[in-house]
Each structure stands twice: as C-alpha cells, then as structure tokens.
Amino acid sequence: MVQLAYRTATIGDASLAADLMTAALPRMPQDPVMTRYRWESASQQTTVHGRFIGELDGRPVAFVSWVHGPWEELPERHCEVDVWLDRAWLERERLRSSLTWICEQAVAEGAWLLLNYTGEDQPDMLEVLAECGFERDRVERFWELDLRLHGERIVRQAREAKTSAASVGVELVTLADWQDPDKLKKLHEMDARTRQDIPSSLPILRESLASFERRIHAPDRPLDRSWVALADGRPVALSYLKFPPVRGLVWTGYTASHPDYRGRGLARAVKLQSLAQAVELGVPAVGTDNDAENSPMLHINRELGYTPTPGLVGHLKRVRRRDDG
C-alpha cells in the first residue's frame, strides 16, 4: 500500500479540506465558506492549529489536523486530532497510518492527552482508534427534525410559547430586534456561564468577547435568526440556527438558559422560535446535537419530535502524564 505524503494546508486549501471532510463523512457535509471563515478567524483566537493535506501520488485524498488551546490553561494539555480520509481511498492501513502520523505531530507539539471524535457509523475508524490505544469517552447524540412533517405543530407551539413567556414578563426577540448597545457583551456573559454546565470530561475554556462577537457575525448566523429571551433587559435564554451558505443541514448552533431561569421552559421557547422561523423559510429539516448526559436538552428534543441519527463518539489516549518529567 502506498503511504500518503503530507503537506501543510494553507488558507487557500480551505475549500479542498471541506470537500475532503465531506467525502470522508457524506452525512455531515462541510461548508467551504464556513471552513475558510473558521480558518481565517483562528488567527485571531488563542487556539493553535496544525492542518495538513494528505496526498496519494500527488492527488489530495485526506485532511488531517490537530488543535489545542493555550497549554497554560489546560492541566492535561489535551489536543484534538482528526483524520478525514476520502471514502473512495479508504483502506484500514492507510487510515491507521494517517492517525498515527497526526498523533505524532500532536505529541511533538507538546500534547499529553489526545482527543478524537468519530462517527458512530464509521466502524473502520472506530476499530483503528481502539487498535491505536484510544479509549471511548463521551457520546454526542445527534438528532434530526422533519419540518415538513412537524412544521405546523412547531409553528403553533412557538406562538403559544411566546404568549406564555410574555405573560410572566419575558420577551422573546431576535438578536437583530434587540435594541441594546451592550447586547453582545450581555449575551457573551450568559453564553460563557451556561457553557460551563455542558457535560464534559475536559475543561471548557472561556471564550473572549472578541471571539464571541466574530462567531455572532459568522456567515451562517444571520442576526435575525438568533433568538434570545429577555427578562428586565437581561438575556436569560438563547437559541440559534446555523444556515450553511453552500451545503449542509441547517443546524441548531446552541440552546441554553441561565441557571436562575431554568425549569421555566424558556430554552424550549426560544428554540421553538428558531424552528418556526425555519418552517416559514421552507427549510425541510434541521439537526441538533447534545452530550448523551445532557438530560434536559435530550428531553426537549424528544418532546419536539426529533429522531435520533448516528452521533459522534469521543475517544481519549494518554501519551504523557504531568509527573513524567
């Protein structure tokens, strides 16, 4: 079997990388516009990346990468490694050598703990991960909602939820309609607070306000399709859909409510507004994902009519310990 040759990916390779990732896992197509946007934005963030194109006799067939946050903020120095091999060129040994190569790059970068996410429907990769010493960690559940089937009910429930929220003094508005000069700063604080409650085996780093504002204005996040619940001018819940510019499923980016306002149905209410808006826009289906231990959101998904689809399995591999010297 001919081994792959790797070259460093440049910003000009973003579209190619999106194509390779899509060819590796077609059910999760990657948008080329958003891939380039993320790569361009990375230079303004604290994360560090290594991105490479794997070539076979000069033909690009794989995209592999590593990424980590500031080592000083990561007690276990964990680093995510990814291998996206075009299914047309999928061979077990080629997959294994690609994973081994990118892991070596991450270790050379200083990683102590390697992290990988692989689809539940990617048996070859799951087996290779086990063979290479990775152990299963967490499962990210994926769901899809057929809006052609459930759209009428969703629109009705969204209207009822908005009326119910208003009756207790909570206003549901889009980010575009929220007239507050400090709205992004306020939303950033709520977003950062709620993300600490996401079930995770590893630290969730606080995002800077500048990075948060860049994400808010990403090409797949129109401000008139991001919803917030306001109580006395304070954001207490949020939900938004991501609309990929070129390809891919419309996806729920994040849904959360402030701890002080949980149990009042506000996360469900703002999520319903975004879904009803998608129905009105003619979107046929939307996807969402949640950690398998996030019981409240899993309950909301089932209640709204989402059906499960193959998710992602997190894997970890220890390559060094803090006291190894």
DSSP bridge pairs for 8? 52
**Is 142-311 in CATH node 3.40.190.10?**
no
DSSP bridge pairs for 176? none
Residue 243 CB-half CA count within 13 A: 16
pLDDT at 325 over 60: no
What value does the mean pLDDT take over residues 270-284?
Answer: 96
pLDDT at 1: 62
What sign results for the dihedral spanned by CA atoms 124, 129, 133, 138? Answer: negative
- Helix ranges restricted to H, the chain: 14-24, 32-42, 92-109, 123-131, 147-167, 183-195, 209-216, 266-280, 295-304
Q: Residue 116 and residue 62: Cα distance in Å, rounded?
A: 16
Structure tokens at 214: 């860049």
DSSP bridge pairs for 307? 144
- Is pTM beyond 0.75 here? yes
Domains of the chain, by residue range, sit at: 5-133, 142-311
Check: CB of residue 292 under 8 Å from CB of residue 124.
Answer: no
Residue 162 CB-half CA count within 13 A: 18
Topology given in CATH for the domain delimited by 5-133: Aminopeptidase (3.40.630)
pLDDT at 322 over 80: no
What value does the mean pLDDT take over residues 6-19?
Answer: 98
Tens of pLDDT, residue by residue over 71-122, are: 999 999 999 999 999 999 999 999 999 999 999 999 999 999 999 999 999 9
Check: CB of residue 141 under 8 Å from CB of residue 298.
Answer: yes
Phi, psi of 5 (to 5 degrees): -105, 140
Q: Residue 243 and residue 141: Cα distance in Å, rounded?
A: 20
Of 165, 148, 153, give the one whose Cα is nearest residue 239. Answer: 165
Hey, do 5-133 and 142-311 end up sharing a CATH topology, with the first three levels equal? yes
pLDDT at 245: 97
Percent of the chain with pLDDT over 90: 81
- Helix ranges restricted to H, 43-90: none
Strands 113-119 and 78-85: parallel
Tens of pLDDT, residue by residue over 42-75, are: 766 778 999 999 999 999 999 999 999 999 999 9
Torsion of CA 58, 59, 62, 63, to 10 degrees: 70
Strands 250-257 and 285-291: parallel
